[in-house]
Structures are given as C-alpha cells and as structure tokens.
Amino acid sequence: MERFPKTDKLTHVRYDIRGPVHKEALRLEEEGHKILKLNIGNPAPFGFDAPAEILVDVIRNLPTAQGYCDSKGLYSARKAIVQYYQLKGLLDIDVNDVYIGNGVSELITMSMQALLNDGDEILIPMPDYPLWTAAATLAGGKAVHYLCDEENEWFPDIEDIKAKITPNTKAILVINPNNPTGAVYSRQILLDIVELARQHNLIIFADEIYEKILYDGAVHHHIASLAPDLLTVTYNGLSKAYRVAGFRQGWMVLNGPKQQAKGFIEGLDMLASMRLCANTPMQHAIQTALGGYQSINEFILPGGRLLEQRNKAHELLTQIPGISCVKPKGAMYMFPKIDTEMYSIKDDQKFVFDLLQQERVLLVQGSGFNWHKPDHFRVVTLPYVHQLEEAITRLGKFLQKYRQD
Ligand code: PLP
C-alpha cells in the first residue's frame, strides 16, 4: 500500500490546463522537441511585454517594499482599486472591502474556503475556467454547472440556471469576458442573472480578469454595478491586460450589503492573515496599471496584434471542414466545436494528447473546462499569426485521421 496517497479531499479536484497532456508536452520539450503552444493564457512569453511604467514603478519601490504588508494589501494599491471601481458604479466600497492576493487564483481559493460548507452549492458556468470548480470542490462544496449556450453567443442559459437553483445554492459565478468562450455578456443577460440572485439571495462572484480585452467595440458591464442591493465579489488583476502574470497580483472587491455576510468576511480576513500578505513589491504596479493610459488598447484596436490574431485564428479554424466557432468578443481564447458526425472523437483528452504526440501542437480539451461532451477544444490566440497558421494547419491535417463520413 502506498504510504502517502493523494488525500481524499483531492480525489475529485482537477485542473487539466496543466494536467497530464501538459506534462507530456514538458517531457517532449525536455527531449528537445519544439511544441506549438496554444494552451495557456500567459501573454509575456508571446512577446506581449508589460508596459514600461509598470516595471519602472516596481523597481523604484523595491527598496521600501522588503517587509510584509497588511494582509489585505498595501493601502495605496487598495485605494487605487477603490477609486477605479467608484468610477465604474460600485459605490459601496472602501479600502477594507478590497483584498489583494497572489493572483486572482489565490483569492478564488480563499473565497471558496470561506463560503462553502460541505454540500453547499455554487452555480458555475459550463464551460468554465476550471479553477473555480476545483476550488469549490476542494472546499467541500458542490460545483453545479449551468449551461452557456453556443447558439446564443455562449450567453448563460437563464432557464438552465433557474432549473439548477436549490435550497443549498449559495452563490453564482459569472466569468465575463469569458474564458474559454470569449463571450462578452450583454447588460440584459447580466440583469437577468442579477434578478435570479436577488430572488434566491445568492452572492454573485464576478470574475472580470479580461475586462479590458474587448474586440469589435464590445462593451463590458460590471455586474456589481447592476446589483447594488446584492453582495457581489468582483475579481481582477494584472496578469492579462497588463501582461505581468508572473507578478502574481490580483484583487477582489466586496460591494453591497456586507452586514449579511459578517461570517464570510471574518473567514476571508482569517484566510488572508494565514497567508500573511501578497507579494509586496509587485503591489506597487497596481496604482500605475489602473490609472492613466491603457496600453492594452494598442493590441485590441484595429491593427493591433491580439485583434489580428483573433481574426486569423477564427478564419483558419472555421475553414477546416466540420469545425465551427463563435467569434469571441473578448479575452484571448476560442472554444471551437468539432462536428462529431464527421469526426469520430469519443475521448477529447486522448484527441489532444495524440495531436501533441503526432503534430507537436498543444491545445486543451473541452472537458478540461468541465464541458460535458468530447466535441470542443480551447485555442489561445496569443501566438503570432505565423505560429497560429502553422498550428491550425497541422490540426486540420491531423483531424482528417478521425474522419468517418
Ligand atoms: N480567472 C480567469 C477567468 C482566468 O482565465 C485566470 C487565468 O487564466 C485567472 C482567473 C487566474 O489569474 P491570476 O491568478 O493570474 O490572477
């Protein structure tokens, strides 16, 4: 018998973005193979350098940022976050409602630990960014997946959400702009979700880490600004629009009737204290990032690299027979659909594993995002156009082996 087996609480926890296929890619790289990576939303390695002023401000503040700071984060950084959201219509916040974490990831885990008792339910989109499901499961909660409708721009299916609310439902998660679909939700769909949360007294978790990565004039609405009477927790950070994922800086902001959530907040405070504080020097980038000129616009407006890459990836993917794809309005991903009448794919993890082995292209299978059928995969649109062209050409060639019509 194994002396140190995996703990029971980890049995059902999965995070396939860095799962077995990713491990195989690392192994192949160690053997010297070159892999075309369309698998992780990490901008810097693809030539998306951080804005210079962010680097300068971190360096300037380094000598005075050697110690721990307040568990919730540096006052100046939290104040900048408060002011940012006040201008966006979140009016019930002060610095005590802001928590800075080592990435949004840490705050997601803390939130689930603070909220969920064994068996408590949280509504999570399907497909999802799988950390939410993993963190809810690890906390002992039950991730209940509500459908996002590919036929309707990947918007949440309100009827499906309604059908899945039970007396154990404590919260609903909205990821907008969405990873992995790239959907940007309309004000109306957000208002419909708010109404359900109001009726059933749910906390709204709003993961808005792609808030500033928008295409074709899409407009992002903060769900918290549409629900001032409800408890909302809004998440964002420096990893995507500011391209410093390695700095590990994220924040969450609580808005609304906090008196209803004294215990939850006490729990968050304790969990924040237990990990002492987030990386201190990097917090000096937050104020710089949030104010002033937003360099991400250079990449997403006409002529910008991210926009061009999204266009090219979408064009090439949809030219492959039997592949369809809703064109993303935001973020840096696509979630194409494979026609399983045309291609015989029963196990999507095996499919991306074989693609990696044979064509040296790395994708993430749809089931890695808790999608319920083996007929989707996620593409990251960060690589240069020539890399996307090469990868998608190889994918198209590889797919033909599965053709059954
Ligand atoms: N939320 C979403 C939707 C994401 O896609 C990611 C990273 O890809 C995160 C949160 C975590 O971001 P970080 O921990 O780098 O702040």
At 37 the three-state DSSP class reads strand
CA distance 129 to 207: 10
Residue 360 in tokens? 């040296």
Is residue 363 lining ligand 1, measured as CB closer than 6 Å? no
Residue 307 in tokens? 């926009």
Q: CB within 8 A of 352, min separation 6: which ones?
A: 21, 362, 363, 364, 365, 377
288 CB burial (10 A radius; 0-12, 13-18, 19+): buried
CA distance 123 to 165: 8
Domains of the chain: 8-49+298-402 (3.90.1150.10), 52-290 (3.40.640.10)
* 238 CA closest ligand 1 atom index: 16
pLDDT tens-place values along the chain, 405 residues long: 899 999 999 999 999 989 899 999 999 999 999 999 999 999 999 999 999 999 999 999 999 999 999 999 999 999 999 999 999 999 999 999 999 999 999 999 999 999 999 999 999 999 999 999 999 999 999 999 999 999 999 999 999 999 999 999 999 999 999 999 999 999 999 999 999 999 999 999 999 999 999 999 999 999 999 999 999 999 999 999 999 999 999 999 999 999 999 999 999 999 999 999 999 999 999 999 999 999 999 999 999 999 999 999 999 999 999 999 999 999 999 999 999 999 999 999 999 999 999 999 999 999 999 999 999 999 999 999 999 999 999 999 999 998 887
342-389 pLDDT per residue, tens: 999 999 999 999 999 999 999 999 999 999 999 999 999 999 999 999
Is residue 111 lining ligand 1, measured as CB closer than 6 Å? no
Task: Tell how far the Cα of 208 is from the centroid of ligand 1, in angstroms.
Answer: 9
Task: Tell how far the Cα of 42 is from the centroid of ligand 1, in angstroms.
Answer: 10
Is residue 177 lining ligand 1, measured as CB closer than 6 Å? no
Query: Whose CA is closest to 171, among 152, 138, 196, 139?
Result: 196
Pocket test for ligand 1, best of 106, 129, 174 (most atoms within 8 A of CB): 129
CA distance 59 to 102: 18
Q: Does the predicted interface ipTM exceed a cut of 0.90?
A: yes
Q: Full-prediction pTM beyond 0.90?
A: yes
Is residue 181 lining ligand 1, measured as CB closer than 6 Å? no
Pocket test for ligand 1, best of 48, 99, 105, 181 (most atoms within 8 A of CB): 105
Is residue 125 lining ligand 1, measured as CB closer than 6 Å? no
Q: Which secondary structure element, helix H or strand E, spans residue 367, and what is its range?
A: none
CA distance 265 to 293: 34
239-291 pLDDT per residue, tens: 999 999 999 999 999 999 999 999 999 999 999 999 999 999 999 999 999 99
Query: Whose CA is closest to 368, among 351, 384, 345, 348?
Result: 348
Protein residue with least CA distance to atom 5, ligand 1 = 179
Residue 263 in tokens? 């215990």
Q: Is 47 left (phi over 0), alpha (psi -120 to 50) or beta?
A: left
Q: In what order do the strands lie in the sheet with 364-365?
A: 333-334, 377-380, 364-365
Task: Tell how far the Cα of 105 is from the centroid of ligand 1, in angstroms.
Answer: 6
Pocket test for ligand 1, best of 22, 99, 179, 243 (most atoms within 8 A of CB): 179
Task: Tell how far the Cα of 259 is from the centroid of ligand 1, in angstroms.
Answer: 29
Residue 209 in tokens? 């880490």
